[in-house]
Amino acid sequence: MTDSLLTPAMEELRPDLGEVVSLLETRAPYGAVCLSSREMTQYMVENNQERVIPGEPTAGVILRGFDGQTMRERCLGGFDREKVLREAKDFIQGVEFAGNGKIDPGEERVENFQTKMERDPALVPTREKLDYLREMNQRVNQFDSRIVNARVRLTEFREKTVFRNRAEDLAQDIQRVHMSIIVTVMGDKGVVYDTKTKCGTAGLEILTFSDEELEKLVKNTIKLLDAGRIEPGEYTVVTAPGVSGVICHESFGHGVETDMFLKERAKAVNFIGKRVGSELVDIYDDPSLPGEFGSYSFDDEGLLAKPTRIVSKGVFERGLTDLYSATALGIERSPNGRRQDLTRKVYPRMTNTFFGSGETPVEDLIGQVEDGIYIAKISSGMEDPKGWGIQVTGHYGFEIKGGEITEKMYSPIGMTGYVPEVLSSISAVGNDFGLSGGYCGKGTKELVPVTDGGPHLLLKARLG
Amino acid sequence: MISRIRKALENQPAIKAWIIRQEISRSFQQYDLKDRSEAVREVDTEIYTVDVLCDSEDSEGKISSGLGTVSILPGGDIESTLEKAILTAQLVHNEPYDFAAPAAIPEIELADPAYQKDPEKELGRVLATLKEASKAYPHVRLTAAECFGQERQTHLVSSKGIDASQTATDIYLQWVYIGGEGQDEVETFAEIQRRRTSDLNLEEAVSRQAQSTLDLVQAGKPQSYTGPVVIQGSTLADMIAGEMLSGSLLGTLSNAGLKYSGETPWEVGKSIFRQEVKGDDFTIWANRKLAFGVPSSAFDKEGIPAQRVPLIQENKLVSFIADQRYAYYLGIKPTGSFGCMEMPAGNTSLADLQTGSYVEIAEFSWFNPNRLNGNFACEIRLGYLVEEGKRKPFKGGMLVGNLLDALADVIWSSEVGFYGNYLGPRGARFNSLRVTE
């Protein structure tokens, strides 16, 4: 059972949007209207306190006029019909649209989409959510008396969107959920923490944690108290799926968002159709993956979700676009036009970005390593689309000796390298697959939900 | 709408205290791509946020306080939204506390009159100045720029008797330079956030960024190195005060909420360092009163007035940064939100910091130390190896260490600078840090 597709105010305004588009197109070569409502609520239970914290919601109308040269937008809070019609008239008055814009509005289509879920957070009482988090907090604390805090956090995100242009009338109701458990331990050498996260485009039914998962989280946190710093140098490295994902995200994710091509910020523009990694490397972006945190049915510019193959057998095929960059570059659009919320512009953005799986069983992949490092948990990454440098910070990793992961732990582990060298050094790709979710910024702003991941990888890199 | 919300709140006997915040904002955004305008946006928003505090009994029968917060958009259903807030507040159980009482609110300069007069014109002027200043560096190309301005009016009223208003502006500018040619092309990316356009110091920022771009073209590979490391300007400010993406380590460890949850080892009156201080003593204020500081405010979201709080003096923690609730719990005076980092000038000139052999780091890919213990291993986007007066640029490698250990062995410059959220020494010489290849 799920909540209604749109809010009553959005439902009421939706039938009039065709009129607004017609009004915009009396002057603009291409007009579109978007109704957007985004809400977030966070529930948190710690050892000695609890909270319910709503994020600042956004709800309103985006009026859009585009001539192939400049994208103009006017954003209004609320869904008042008369105000929208009045502002639409004002918005296009006095603007000199270029007359040569030929923007394809897509095929005629009227469709509604809604996240499939068993337990819609909107229909589960707050008391039940808090009780679940309290129980989770107690389950974590029972594993070790050295825990100073177990912060259990559930975050719900609801996005309701209507997109209307002269051909399309689309609506979607997306429910995202995210749950993290952060365990903090204090020792003689300082404070350490580790996290376990689950998330998806789904209901609360996906947020369950086994005792085995929680015990492993606590054990790793305790182990971090005695983790050492790695001796800098070049290593044979095995990356866990979450770490593989960040390599993918920072190398052929941000670097192939095609606004970067227009700004001359991306080295990849010179490598279309060229080799950028070993033959084992396939990279995809796919907002249509069911249930993943970065998934949706259509992007913020009305293009239906579908997969994009970015790298095939080590050869760079194409980048990720929004309407503007695809128009300016004269290439086919991919469904990656995304905005943080109505207060922000659309950019080409990643969704679920990952290395394709290979054929090597993970035990065999680790078994090939006589002396190396297993990077188990990611901390962060940063893009360098022009220099193709990689900065990936692993939260921790373990020594590999004689084909086996040992108990010797290092934290943090910085990984650097030149993207084509790192991707070319991939000598085995695991037959497993995993995605990790979170929020991705463009530079330091424009946060959107994404996942990244893939299989375990065997590669060479500089660590420090 | 505030009076309607207020009336509805006053009719609810279950509520112990309440706060209403009205925020009205209008922003203009201009995006330039080479010689054309890529996008132009105008955004109006208005929102009312209501905090309600209720006391109730927890499962053991003890009195507890709970906070419920809701947001209401213009035209929204006030009654049902407030009921949701009250229900939440009654379900959340924490140690009892109360909201802030009224106190004198200082006048803090937060708004740029030049922007307020004509926002679109002022943003256009900023972009034109950027383009004009960039022409002085013919070996770099300006390929993209984004300039945003926002004016935000906040009106806060509370059941305790606070009734305060403030207006603030925010200016954000980013741009991209490309240098070199063909396969050797490089890019640099600059990003500045201030309260007013005159604090962007565009000519100086353009000059620095253009030089970095040219140096990056010439940059070689890093060498392994352990020794003095000099860091200046906004890169230093980001290390100390944090940048837009991540908070600061000092802000995290001095947070009363983290003290209450047992996650910070810091104690008032004790050194924040785990080792003996070998360099200059470390002193810092959390200053929300700093005029035109990006995190400055006359009052924060609880209505607590701006303060200049002595945070660390001569290496020892003086005070935790506490909102009303954690101040109640820890029995300390509430400071409200953190504000800007302010440090005193050092005793050594920038010129004297840059003597002998040393490494200077101009830019990191991202300086992001572990948020609780300060360990870091961060990629260097542009650095210089300085030997016998010659500056040799390099790119890549990592700076590896621990931020607290680094701050215990540093010399600060006597020249000071303002970088939006940081007012303090413009340069620092860390006596012993490690650069890896």
Dump pLDDT digits (tens) for A50-102.
999 999 899 999 999 999 999 999 999 999 999 999 999 999 888 888 866 67
A157 and A297: one domain? no
By three-state DSSP, how is residue B391 classified? strand
In a domain, A378, yes or no: yes
B132-149: pLDDT as tens digits:
999 999 999 999 999 999
Q: Rounded to an integer, what distance in angstroms lies between the CA atom of residue B400 and that of residue B387?
A: 21
- Contacts with A324 from chain B: Cβ below 8 Å: 38-39
Q: Rounded to an integer, what distance in angstroms lies between the CA atom of residue B272 and that of residue B164?
A: 36
Facing residues of B359 across strands?
B229, B385
| Residue position matching structure tokens 């302010």 | B342
A197 and A262: one domain? no
Task: Tell me the CA distances in angstroms from A297 to A163, A222, A289, A303, one per residue in order.
Answer: 12, 42, 10, 9
pLDDT of residue B57 exceeding 70, the answer is yes
B267 touches A at CB < 8 Å? no
**Residue ranges of E strands in A343-403:** 347-348, 352-355, 371-382, 389-401
pLDDT of residue B205 exceeding 70, the answer is yes
Question: Which token pair is B107?
Answer: 């006048």
Contact check, Cβ <8 Å, A74/B397: no
B416-434: pLDDT as tens digits:
999 999 999 999 999 999 9
Question: In sequence order, what are the residues at sequence separation of 6 or more whose Cβ sits closer than 8 angstroms to the Cβ of residue A96?
Answer: none
Q: What is the number of alpha carbons within 13 Å of residue A390 lying toward its C-beta?
A: 29
What is the average pLDDT across B193-214?
A: 96
Size of interface A-B (CB pairs under 8 A): 206
Interface probe for B, chosen from A444, A447, A462, A463 (most Cβ of B below 10 Å), is A444
Split at pLDDT 50, 70, 90, the class of B281 is very high
pLDDT for B184? 87
pLDDT for B244? 65
pLDDT for B58? 79
Split at pLDDT 50, 70, 90, the class of B59 is confident
Domain extent at residue A268? 233-463
B330 touches A at CB < 8 Å? no
B262 touches A at CB < 8 Å? yes
Contact check, Cβ <8 Å, A264/B436: no
In a domain, A19, yes or no: yes
- Contacts with A385 from chain B: Cβ below 8 Å: 187
> Where residue A23 sits, what CATH number does that domain have?
3.30.2290.10
By three-state DSSP, how is residue B8 classified? helix
* Angle, helices A81-92/A17-24, rounded to nearest 10 degrees: 10
- Contacts with A69 from chain B: Cβ below 8 Å: 36-37
Nearest residue on chain B to A47, alpha-carbon basis: B261
Q: Rounded to an integer, what distance in angstroms lies between the CA atom of residue B83 and that of residue B87?
A: 6
Interface probe for A, chosen from B59, B93, B302, B365 (most Cβ of A below 10 Å), is B365
pLDDT for A442? 87
Boundary of a domain, candidates A193, A224, A255: A224
As a dihedral over the C-alpha atoms of residue B328, residue B330, residue B332, residue B336, rounded to 10 degrees, the angle is -60
Contact B266, B319 (CB under 8 A): no
- Phi first, then psi: what are they for A318, rounded to 5°? -165, 165
Of B154 and A382, the one with more pLDDT: B154
Closest CA to B426 of B204, B276, B176: B204
What is the average pLDDT across A315-329?
A: 97
A292 and A212: one domain? no
A382 touches B at CB < 8 Å? yes
Question: How does strand B63-72 pair with strand B140-158?
Answer: unpaired
pLDDT of residue B295 exceeding 90, the answer is yes
Interface probe for B, chosen from A35, A36, A45, A75 (most Cβ of B below 10 Å), is A75
In a domain, A151, yes or no: yes
Interface probe for B, chosen from A50, A51, A52, A346 (most Cβ of B below 10 Å), is A52
A198 and A238: one domain? no
A305 and A454: one domain? yes
- Phi first, then psi: what are they for A259, rounded to 5°? -65, -30
ipTM of the complex: 0.92
pLDDT for A388? 87
A6: distance to nearest CA of chain B, Å? 15
* Angle, helices B119-134/B202-218, rounded to nearest 10 degrees: 40
Contact check, Cβ <8 Å, A80/B263: no
- Contacts with B190 from chain A: Cβ below 8 Å: none
Q: Rounded to an integer, what distance in angstroms lies between the CA atom of residue B322 and that of residue B338?
A: 8
- Contacts with B378 from chain A: Cβ below 8 Å: 391, 393, 414
Contact check, Cβ <8 Å, A391/B365: yes
- How far does Cα B414 stand from its chain's mean position? 23
pLDDT of residue B246 exceeding 80, the answer is no
Closest CA to B159 of B226, B89, B104, B98: B98
A243 and A151: one domain? no
pLDDT for A1? 59
Question: How does strand A308-312 pair with strand A283-285?
Answer: antiparallel
In a domain, A17, yes or no: yes
Question: In sequence order, what are the residues at sequence separation of 6 or more whose Cβ sits closer than 8 angstroms to the Cβ of residue B9?
Answer: B15, B18, B20, B50, B52, B82, B159
Split at pLDDT 50, 70, 90, the class of B245 is low
Split at pLDDT 50, 70, 90, the class of B88 is very high
Query: Percentage of residues in chain A with pLDDT exceeding 90?
Result: 88
Q: What is the largest CA-CA distance in chain A?
A: 72
Boundary of a domain, candidates A174, A194, A224: A224
Task: Tell me the CA distances in angstroms from B205 to A5, B121, B133, B284, one per residue in order.
Answer: 48, 21, 10, 26
- Contacts with A183 from chain B: Cβ below 8 Å: none
A212 and A309: one domain? no
Question: Which token pair is A425?
Answer: 């050094």
Boundary of a domain, candidates A224, A245, A261: A224
Amino acid at position B200, single letter: L
Q: Rounded to an integer, what distance in angstroms lies between the CA atom of residue A320 and that of residue A253?
A: 8
What is the average pLDDT across B301-317?
A: 97
Helices and strands: H and E segment counts in chain A: 10, 23
Question: How does strand B340-342 pair with strand B186-194?
Answer: unpaired
The total of structural domains in chain A comes to 2
| Residue position matching structure tokens 């929102």 | B47
A409-450: pLDDT as tens digits:
999 998 988 899 999 999 999 999 999 999 998 877 889 999
Which B positions 63-122 lie with beta carbon below 8 A of chain A? 67-71, 73-75, 87-88, 91-95
By three-state DSSP, how is residue A336 classified? coil
Q: What is the number of alpha carbons within 13 Å of residue A33 lying toward its C-beta?
A: 28
In chain A the first and final C-alpha atoms are separated, in Å, by 50
In a domain, A413, yes or no: yes
In a domain, A103, yes or no: yes
Rg (CA), chain B: 24
Question: Which token pair is A266?
Answer: 């991306």
A113 and A18: one domain? yes
B224 touches A at CB < 8 Å? yes
A306 and A214: one domain? no
Q: Rounded to an integer, what distance in angstroms lies between the CA atom of residue A347 and that of residue A322?
A: 6
A166 and A249: one domain? no
Contact B151, B28 (CB under 8 A): no
Nearest residue on chain A to B148, alpha-carbon basis: A344
Q: Rounded to an integer, what distance in angstroms lies between the CA atom of residue A450 and that of residue A285?
A: 10
Walk me through the domains of chain B, giving residue ranges and CATH numbers.
2-215 (3.30.2290.10), 219-436 (no CATH)
pLDDT of residue B268 exceeding 80, the answer is yes
A324 and A433: one domain? yes
In a domain, A80, yes or no: yes
Q: Rounded to an integer, what distance in angstroms lies between the CA atom of residue A278 and that of residue A422?
A: 9
A244 and A146: one domain? no
In a domain, A302, yes or no: yes
Nearest CB to A414 within list B29, B87, B398: B398
pLDDT of residue A109 exceeding 70, the answer is yes
pLDDT for A383? 75
pLDDT of residue A322 exceeding 90, the answer is yes
